[in-house]
Amino acid sequence: MGAYEAALLVAGIAIFGAVVLPRVLSDKPMSFPLIYVVAGALLFSLPLGVEIPDPVEHGDLAERLTEFVVIIALTGAGLKLDRPFEWQAWSNTWRLLAITMPLTILATALLGWGVLGTLVSTAVLLGAVVAPTDPVLASDVQATPPTEEMDEEIDPKKQEGEVRFALTSEAGLNDGLAFPFTHLAIAIAAAAGASSLDWLGEWFLMHFLYEIAVGVVMGYLAGQVLARVIFSESVTTQLGKVMEGAEALAVTLITYGATELVHGYGFIAVFVAAVELRHYEWEHEYYTALHDYAVMIERIVMATVLVLFGGAIAGGLLAPLTLLDIVVGLTLIFVVRPVAGVIGMLGSSLPWSERLVVSAFGIRGIGSFYYLAFALNEASFGEIELLVAADKLWALLGFVVLASIVIHGISANYVMDALDRRRPDERTPSETSEADAS
């Protein structure tokens, strides 16, 4: 069997699994990402003649594959959110973005520098790539698909699924907000030994203020313009019905490409565009088709990436790990994110049980892979210290993502089901009777 044919076989198995497994195991609390990773490790352990995936050697491919699955996942996440974009309604999201995420980056960087002994730039990069909550692997804790009603209630105690909303909206925005800190790590590496701090002002103005602002503005404009086109005519032809929902992919690519061309953060733009698209006409049933199409593409590409991840593990991706690396990786999952999450949620009106779930389920995944691949591809000889640490960074990040897939993947269904069962019991008798009557 030739290498090309074997590669087609592996890709076909990944896609087939992404389509069939959810049907076969729909009533079982399974972690599909974990199944894909294990399948990839087994497939690439067989003598098929396929080259073992290596994200260090094939950095460009790793960046582009993970980039695509993240942007389509951001579209799906944005289309899930049936809530007006108001400051109070999104208060828990702002807490996670403004407090939890920076604390996670800082704590991770300190662990990298103080415990693992990395250089400052490498430590900052580690914090930046680990911080985002992944929009791809977090489907079990995300909001449900769009309904035909607007969720106008903003009291978290009376709101179904505030945990899911917080985690979905956080994942949608913090993937883009990790970009400035990734650029900061590259800038620190490039400025090693420089006496001037001019580079810091340039980083803040360009990579923090400008690119975030452009991402938001481009996303808003794209969402408004494309929504008017999509909903201007109803689908009447057979070809139109066959292509229902494909506009979700078009919106993703148009928004991302246009924003990146003007040097804005495309991740932010795609999510904002999807939210604007969802809010344009609340009661239109076509939102379901848009969401389902985005999720279908996301699942197929996600399965492929995770199978390759499993293959990379089989090929020795985790070989550079030391016991200290493993301890730090587990600390990031069990201590850093939960503690940063709890601090960020102080003052929230959510019950403590829900605050703890939001804090604990900061799933790390494919978005982190993208940021690391991006940073290493952007680094040149001037940032050689990042390139020297590439194998170690990929090993540590690979372990963190694998551990997150196992820990969060296995526990997510149980925890979310427990919250869903408990929530009616937390309402007052009058609220419960009203809900039962409806």
pLDDT, tens digit, for every residue of 294-304? Answer: 888 888 888 88
What is the torsional sign of CA 312, 314, 320, 322? positive
C-alpha to C-alpha distance for 19 and 300, rounded to whole angstroms:
7
C-alpha to C-alpha distance for 93 and 105, rounded to whole angstroms:
17
What pTM does this model have? 0.86
pLDDT of residue 436 exceeding 50, the answer is no
Length of the chain, in residues? 438
Which H/E stretch holds residue 409?
helix 390-422
**pLDDT for res 434:** 36
Mean pLDDT to the nearest integer, 315-324 = 93
Q: Do 268 and 212 form a contact (C-beta atoms < 8 A)?
A: yes
Mean pLDDT to the nearest integer, 155-176 = 74
Q: What pLDDT digit, counting tens, does each position of 198-221 carry?
A: 888 999 999 999 999 999 999 999
C-alpha to C-alpha distance for 330 and 229, rounded to whole angstroms:
47
C-alpha to C-alpha distance for 415 and 257, rounded to whole angstroms:
38
**pLDDT for res 328:** 95
Q: What pLDDT digit, counting tens, does each position of 81-140 carry?
A: 877 777 888 999 999 999 999 999 999 999 999 999 888 888 999 999 999 888 776 666
**Predicted confidence band at 19 (pLDDT cuts at 50, 70, 90)?**
confident
**Predicted confidence band at 435 (pLDDT cuts at 50, 70, 90)?**
very low
Extended beta strands in 324-396, E state: none
DSSP alpha helices (H): ranges in 116-210?
120-130, 162-177, 179-190, 198-202
**pLDDT for res 13:** 80
Is residue 181 helix, strand or coil? helix
Distance in Å from the first CA to the final CA of the chain: 61
**Predicted confidence band at 158 (pLDDT cuts at 50, 70, 90)?**
very low
**pLDDT for res 209:** 95
State in words which class domain 3-425 has.
mainly alpha
**pLDDT for res 309:** 95
- DSSP assignment of 61-101: HHHHHHHHHHHHHHHHHHHH--S---TTTTHHHHHIIIIIH
Q: Do 236 and 243 form a contact (C-beta atoms < 8 A)?
A: no
pLDDT of residue 39 exceeding 80, the answer is yes
pLDDT of residue 41 exceeding 60, the answer is yes
C-alpha to C-alpha distance for 72 and 56, rounded to whole angstroms:
24
Q: Do 366 and 302 form a contact (C-beta atoms < 8 A)?
A: yes
**Predicted confidence band at 153 (pLDDT cuts at 50, 70, 90)?**
very low
